Amino acid sequence: MKKESKQKKAKVVKDDEFEELRIGDVIYQTKLNKMYKDRKAYKIPNKQEIYSFIPGTIVEINIKEGDKVKKEEILMLLEAMKMKNQVLAPMDGIVDKIYVKKGQIIKKNFLMIKLKR
């Protein structure tokens, strides 16, 4: 829905049901859906926690708890859609806890490994 306006600056107006964005002479209005209202706030990733980036099956684990790892070392292989994806260490550290087992099927954003410095 468009409304004419004489305001030149971009401005956002929010209420519980609609959001308006003014750009130049035009006001854009959109209805907020359930998915928008239920979204999670962005959280800065913790490099010590490694989550699955895709659902799949753990096919190989190359580490054990207590092992020292180097940044970009291959920690495990996650198979998804017939492709084997390498899970790499995001930093140098020590494997604190492994939350998966070989052959386990996991969902996206599943906590797989926790590292410590």
Query: What is the structure's pLDDT at 76?
Result: 98
Q: What would the pLDDT profile of 44-71 be if each residue is shown by its tens digit?
A: 989 999 999 999 999 999 999 999 999 9
Angle in degrees, CA 96, 54, 35, rounded to 5: 110
Domain containing residue 75: 49-116
55 close to 70: Cβ distance less than 8 angstroms: no
In this predicted structure, what is the pLDDT of residue 7? 47
Verify that 92 and 112 share a domain, yes or no.
yes
Whether 31 and 86 share a structural domain: no
Q: Could you tell me which residues are beta bridge partners of residue 19?
A: 14, 30
Are the C-beta atoms of 20 and 27 separated by less than 8 Å? yes
| Higher local confidence (pLDDT), 113 or 6 | 113
| Burial category of 99 from C-beta neighbours within 10 Å (exposed 0-12, middle 13-18, buried 19 and up) | middle
Task: Write the pLDDT tens digit of every residue in 27-49.
Answer: 888 887 888 778 888 889 899 99
**Domain assignment of residue 70, yes or no:** yes
Q: What is the pTM of this model?
A: 0.67
Residues 67 and 94 in one domain: yes
